[in-house]
Amino acid sequence: MVKIEMDVVINRPVKEVFAFVSNVENDPKWSLGTLENKFTSKGPIGKGSTFKEVTMFLGRKIESIGEYVEYVPNKKIVCRVASGPMPAEGKFYFEATNGGTKITMTMEIEIGKFFKLAEPLLVRMFKRQLEAEHANLKDLLESQGQSSVY
């Protein structure tokens, strides 16, 4: 199990940042390698919501099914992807700061036997990717008005 934790401060209110990040259909706008995310469940976003994601990893297209296992509006989101080559869980914590929002993200990834030898390289790749994604998210939400990113 690989665990990576990072945070970013975005100069936007918690309510706006949470609304954008909690909607997985926005992921392709800021998340590297995410080609598509679509909800597969009906109703409002919350615990139990499910989604299908299509990502690129090491040059391969991967389709996975995910679920929101925890959802506390404006505070916390926990998503779990159990299918695919590397099951993962992402935890997002939202905290108000001086005029903005601090997001702390923890990713826990199960690297299977096939990737075990490459684990140190994969950890560096995941860290660089998360750093770039946080920068993308910050730039996107700070540079545009709420209505233009939702």
pTM for the whole structure: 0.85
CATH 3.30.530.20 fits 2-149, yes or no: yes
Is a pLDDT exceeding 90 seen at residue 134? no
pLDDT band at 130 (very low <50, low <70, confident <90, very high): confident
- Averaged pLDDT for residues 44-72: 91
pLDDT digit string (tens) for 74-92?
999 999 997 777 788 999 9
Out of 55-64, 94-103, 125-134, give the one with best mean pLDDT: 94-103
- Which regions of 1-124 does DSSP assign to beta strands (E)? 2-10, 34-39, 50-57, 60-72, 76-81, 88-97, 100-109
Kindly report the backbone phi and psi dihedral angles of residue 48, in degrees, each rounded to the nearest multiple of 5, phi listed first: 95, -15
- Averaged pLDDT for residues 20-39: 93
What is the domain partition of the chain in residue ranges? 2-149
- For residue 44, give both structure tokens: 């409002």
User: Looking at residue 86, what is its pLDDT?
Assistant: 75
